[in-house]
Amino acid sequence: MYRILMFILSIGFCQNIIFTDFFTDNTLRFDYFHSGVADTERVSLDELRLEGAWPGSKTNLIDDMYLGLYRFEVVDLELDKVIYACAFASIFGEWQTTGEAADGVWRTFHESQRFPEPKQPFRLILKKHNLDGSYFTIYDTEHNPVSRFVNRSPLLNNNKVWRIFNNGLAEKKVDILILGEGYRKDDMKQFKKDAKHLISVMFDTEPFKSRKSDFNVWAIDVFSREIGISNPHQNIWKKSALDLRFNSFDSDRYVLTFANKNLREIAAQAPYDAMMIIFNDPKYGGGGIYNLWSTVSSLSSQADYVFVHEFGHSFASLADEYYTSDVAYQVSLPEYELNEPNVTALFDPENLKWKHLVEEGTPIPTPWGQNAYDSIAVVYQQKRQQMIADGVNVDKLESLFEELKQSTIPMLKSQKYYGKVGAFEGGGYLAKGLYRPEIDCIMFSRNRSEFCKVCSEAIEKMIDWYVK
């Protein structure tokens, strides 16, 4: 009995990293440049940057979910042991699937990974998923915490950080940081109102509603010189603080910033596990990348919906379940199962990855009125594209959203398996060959204000990661 107990204890010891044995209380940020074309990538060091207190978990230090396209590992040099690991997706990884990258045009994006500051020399490793789920290493270098490459200069201290709500120590909570973009100094009242409103919508949505006590929400006042953000296709250029812009990768509504270093220096003034950027612009748009950040236009009539949808991407690595909208990526049928929790290629229907949520008697794949839905949604997309090409005003585009809702909601709700978990064909930008868990979900359409059960479960798992 004693031997068995010792054996179990020793296994436990091997897997657990005692935080104080390896780390100081501070955060280090690994800043690097990620360059390449579709089939080649290079990573080069910018610097290591000392930030404030480590806001992440001090018990869950090695990611075991393996989501996203990339994995970041910190290895203790002397023990040759992984002491910290996280998974993430990146702008570079998305860009690699665009036509520009396929054409062989080299581009560079700045990226950062944050981790607790090691006490001893360490290696930093970046790995990328192969299609079959295995990894290959794209960066591996040794670092010394006392080297000249660690920038220990004082952090910015010129933006006011305030709480929307606080439930306890950062290391035991998911800390969300809201940043405002395209708000002038005179617009701070509006920023406060918008931030509080969008957060209240999110925490009225399950599973966030039931798990509210596991979160802290911070906001930071960031001043832009002008209202709104840039829109390169329309030749609108704004001097905004975080350099957010529409038309990322040539998708009209896709809003990203490529000024990562600037953003990180501003954000470092607050504790955060997840960033959400709300921008002061009436045009519909947003974006969300796993373990990076999400963006949403706070003035669009769809802001409430987009805010929650994009956080699904950035927080829990949820895939888009829709497939009728145009996207910038070159999408093809996967040869291997995808690692996002809420879409499947259904190579093995008997072992559907969310089968524990499927009620007995639900056929897999699950029938639904896809032809009827497509006939409405495809016409809508054509209309929308034409309106964007004609440069019609924002209000007209917004009323089109409403039209689509009115015609698709009754159709979807009348389906036999509405509200049930199954495997419904159409998802992840593909009408055929990829399947989603429910007929409707926040990740599928703007109709529904709830996540499907599979998405909810994935979000809860991620919350647990930060707080347990």
Residues of the shown chain interacting with Zn ion in the complex, contacts defined by CB under 5 A: 342, 441, 443, 452, 455
Q: How far is the CB of 234 from Zn ion (least distance, A)?
A: 33
267 vs 441, which CB is nearer to Zn ion? 441
Q: How far is the CB of 453 from Zn ion (least distance, A)?
A: 8
124 vs 443, which CB is nearer to Zn ion? 443
113 vs 342, which CB is nearer to Zn ion? 342
**SS3 sequence, the chain?**
CHHHHHHHHHHHHHHCCCHHHHEEEEEEEEEEEEEEECCEEEEEEEEEEEEEECCCCCCCCECCCCCCCEEEEEEECCCCEEEEEEEECCHHHHHCCCHHHHCCCCEEEEEEEEEEEECCCEEEEEEEECCCCCEEEEEEEEECCCCCCEECCCCCCCCCEEEEECCCCHHHCEEEEEEEECCCHHHHHHHHHHHHHHHHHHCCCCCCCCCHHHEEEEEECCCCCCCCCEEHHHCECCCCCCCEECCHHHCCCECEECCHHHHHHHHCCCCCCEEEEEECCCCCCEEEECCCEEEEECCCCCHHHHHHHHHHHHHHCCCCCCCCCCCCCCCCCCCCCCCCCCCECCCCHHHCCCHHHCCCCCCCCCCCCHHHHHHHHHHHHHHHHHHHHHCCCHHHHHHHHHHHHHHHHHHHHCCCCCCCCCCEEEECCEEEEEEECCCCCCCCCCCCCCCCHHHHHHHHHHHHHHHC
Q: How far is the CB of 454 from Zn ion (least distance, A)?
A: 6
229 vs 441, which CB is nearer to Zn ion? 441
91 vs 319, which CB is nearer to Zn ion? 319
Q: How far is the CB of 441 from Zn ion (least distance, A)?
A: 3
Q: How far is the CB of 357 from Zn ion (least distance, A)?
A: 11
317 vs 342, which CB is nearer to Zn ion? 342
240 vs 408, which CB is nearer to Zn ion? 408
Q: How far is the CB of 342 from Zn ion (least distance, A)?
A: 5
Q: How far is the CB of 403 from Zn ion (least distance, A)?
A: 24
377 vs 443, which CB is nearer to Zn ion? 443
Q: How far is the CB of 436 from Zn ion (least distance, A)?
A: 6
